Structure 1
């Protein structure tokens, strides 16, 4: 087969990267880290010497195979660019995480989920092939059945501690031009979760939901359609999550549906005033997106504005930014705990099941055939009484473990080493680390995600 122009360009970028890595001075034994403009991680690492690897040129869509429903893409490509490339050909990635700035490699090295996950699983379940830049500068090709299959299955949830994704092949799905969304209101969690499970067994293309309160839950069931009587747009003046309580049925273009949450960062745009009509006009369409809000959040973390205002009001605060996956049978119990102990609302709900129960990704183990419910809750908890640092996050982690769930590691974690080792199969990780990073050029997963080193 004659390589495409994009394939040749990708090979040239690999050659330049290897030449640059080989030409570098050995220097001090600093651990590797990515040189990135942005990040969707919500945990800060300790300052220290890092050997920055610049992979920012690896942000291209290499090619699509429409007959096989696959796309070949570089690891630093954002989902915004990947979706744009695939929609032009009537396709979409099998799982499209909610925010435009999430990179493909980041969604595999971390954990990516969305409303197709009840059938397609997580982003890494749609992966067919993976090229990894190892911490020592070697590049290895990984498939489910080659010599590096242990890294293929071990890479998801490794967060750069085993290397970085340079190239991936992912499954895609055919799309239609529009999406019809039905918003079904419930006033009790038991009925809501029962209906969610039923929707996951039906013919829906997308299923998610939102908990607005103890007696206000909305299940969103969506299907592709070839045409629509109208098309709503939530990229500027209108706010998507509010429509869930106002419109029993809605229609969006497939593009606008896939990015329905990005304009308001779900609902977190309210924390920067972007839901006020006057402020919304000042922000303008160009700046109403997760990219803007992430920058504002980083500035706030650096300057401590929110913390200072809270102290002035006599309040103690803790950021609780978490996504956790709970087996469906325990979902009502976790929601009751969340409302009682944490009190964050709204809460995003997304069902997820591994599509092949016989395939195991050891660093993010899931029960075979189990339907999980992802709870996404992102806000600041304020209390008059003081607590030790991480108190509320720690409560969440303990409840997740008690209920047989698992937590994403993109934000602050407070596990003990023993808890972490059991939850994320550190025995399997130790074998991967010994084979692919024996000299410890990259940090250990626990050190990176819990100790923030």
Structure 2
């Protein structure tokens, strides 16, 4: 059966189920089978639209340089299919399990986003089933208001069933140059200089401390510019984790250039989930040595780690936020983090000027930038994303207070959070940042009021109340979840065992 025929049948079945929910006025949620969000996730199997089977690549067109895919296709599958045909998605999220649909209706950027924008900017056409079961095709020229509204909508306008993504010609290598920096100010300066170089295809950076960091720029090449450039890899179990390798180059007094295979570069942060895997070693009292990183490599990939994170409940033990700031305000936020939290490493990722409009339908920003007022003018410059990911052992009250303080500083500096993370704003604070009226008008126009709004989708609901049951099994579960160490082992067990970790069990 041709994939397109099977796709049409899946869409027809989906339309029927959505139309049923609509006719009975039953609210429903969209279920993907996995998540790269850190929000507590739990779905009622009787009130979901299951799109987990929409994971097929339908076609790759060399003449138009586009790929037509279903929304649940993960990044590694998309890259494997397109590179086999001599092409590459211009924006590839760094975790292999992030999906095309999640990248389009969520917030998803990477080190090429200074050049191409967020992932949604690489989408040229989409197919969506509205909340009444109607199938609509949209693009910049067809149902343009819906197409634009889908960006950062988090599945609140309809159910995505197909996406057409632009491609660029494949080059097999990335020539990566590492620039050591000795302060946050120098890091920001080098980062912006590298984004202005036309030959660069990728730019990002890591701050390891207040006075140590590295900015990395990459150029797609078919052949190295010099035969003396060493080849470096990051995907095999015996390869060093990327951030550790980058840190080893900060002691140099000059730039270092290496040649990295394209697949290794694109998913360079998968092993160890940037540096979050390091905290797992500390938690389980395992020495963070090279030999143990090799032996335990299976557990240190993001698909396993996300599963374990949710099963263990550890989203309440870490501050995990990505925040995009006007470029001139990013240093002030980094300095604030250093003083108040001391969390390192920090990820730096430059973003294109249009980045803000891809982030959950926000209002325009016209406040001060970098300490300077811009009265009466809307900010139209570049952004720099700061990734803040680290442990914050504390009581629940203190954890929420710390996250709310981060959100307050974010608003003060004109920043905007990526909404995969937990959101602690009050509804009034949310409405100051996001255009609720525009969002509601869109939802009304396209009949999506039966779906949750963006606010309802992302707002924090506190710790998930778990039902452990009675008897010996219930007692054991309560004992496990009351122990930080045991709950960690439980998370690993559930991840290795596999299966669903978000759907509630159906009652008999």
Q: Same fold (TM over 0.5)?
A: yes
Instruction: Using the TM superposition, give the Cα deviation of residue 356 of structure 1 relative to its aligned residue in structure 2, in angstroms.
Output: 9.7
Aligned to 1:72: 68
- What is the alpha-carbon distance in structure 2 between the residues aligned to residue 64 and residue 38 of structure 1? 25
8 Å CA contact retained: 1:101, 1:290: yes
Does residue 253 (structure 1) correspond to residue 248 (structure 2)? The answer is: no
Against the structure 1 CA distance between its residues 94 and 331, is the aligned structure 2 distance closer, same or farther, given a 3 Å change threshold?
same
Deviations 1:262-315 (CA, angstroms, capped at 9, x unpaired): 11211111122285445434434x5441001111112220xx6x9xxxxxxxxx
Pair 1:393-2:403 in alignment? yes
Aligned-partner SS, 2:296: helix
Alignment gaps of 5+ in structure 1: 307-316
SS of 1:419's equivalent in the other structure is helix
Contact 2:241–2:269 (8 Å) recurs in 1: no
- Residue in structure 2 matching 1:379, options 377, 390, 403: 390
| 2:107–2:358 CA contact under 8 A, matched in 1 | no
- What is the number of residues matched between the two proteins? 431
User: Is it true that 1:293 corresponds to 2:305 in the alignment?
Assistant: yes
Structure 2 unaligned residues grouped into runs of 5+? 250-255, 365-377, 463-508
1:41 correspondence with 2:14? no
1:199 CA displacement:
0.8
Q: Structure 1 residues 86 and 429, CA, compared in 2 at 3 Å: closer, same or farther?
A: same
Partner of 2:57: 61
Task: Name the SS of the counterpart of 1:430 in structure 2.
Answer: helix
- Provide the secondary structure at the position in 1 that maps to 2:312: helix
Query: 1:17-32, aligned counterparts within 5 Å?
Result: 17-21=14-18, 29-32=25-28
Question: Is the CA contact (8 Å cut-off) linking 1:132 and 1:141 kept in structure 2?
Answer: yes
Matches within 5 A, 1:244-393: 244-247=246-249, 248-273=256-281, 275-284=288-297, 286-301=298-313, 318-354=317-353, 363-364=361-362, 369-382=380-393, 387-393=397-403
Q: Using the TM superposition, give the Cα deviation of residue 97 of structure 1 relative to its aligned residue in structure 2, in angstroms.
A: 0.9
User: Is the counterpart of residue 14 in structure 1 residue 11 in structure 2?
Assistant: yes
Q: 1:190 and 2:199 equivalent?
A: no
Say which of 167, 171, 193 aligns to 2:166.
171
Higher deviation after alignment, 97-106 or 367-376: 367-376
1:318 and 1:390 in contact (8 A); partners too: no
Greater strand percent: which structure? 1
- Give the secondary-structure state (helix, strand or coil) at the position aligned to 1:131: strand
Match of 1:221 among 214, 217, 223: 217
Residue 421 of structure 1 and its aligned partner are, at CA, apart by 1.8
In 1, the alpha carbon distance for the partners of 2:187 and 2:85 equals 36
Indicate the SS of the match to 2:125. strand
Deviation track 1:29-48 (CA, whole Å, cap 9, x = no partner) reads 54212333211111115776
Q: Could you tell me how far apart the structure 2 residues matched to 1:354 and 1:292 are?
A: 34
Match of residue 103, structure 2, among 85, 107, 112: 107
Contact 2:52–2:72 (CA<8 Å) still a contact in 1? yes
Contact persistence 2:31–2:43 (CA under 8 A): no
- Displacement of 1:21: 4.6
- Worse-superposed segment, 45-54 or 342-351: 45-54
TM-score (norm 2): 0.78
Alignment of 1:68-217 (within 5 A): 68-146=64-142, 148-202=143-197, 203-217=199-213
C-alpha contact (below 8 Å) 1:136/1:441 kept by paired residues = no
Q: CA deviation at 1:246?
A: 2.5
User: In structure 2, how many angstroms separate the alpha carbons of the residues matched to 1:201 and 1:300?
Assistant: 43
User: How far did 1:56 drift?
Assistant: 1.8
Name the stretch that deviates more: 35-44 or 244-253. Answer: 244-253
Distance in 2 separating the partners of 1:33 and 1:378: 28
Aligned equivalent of 1:407: 417
Q: TM-score, normalised by structure 1?
A: 0.87
**Which residue, 399, 409, 427 being the options, matches 1:417?**
427
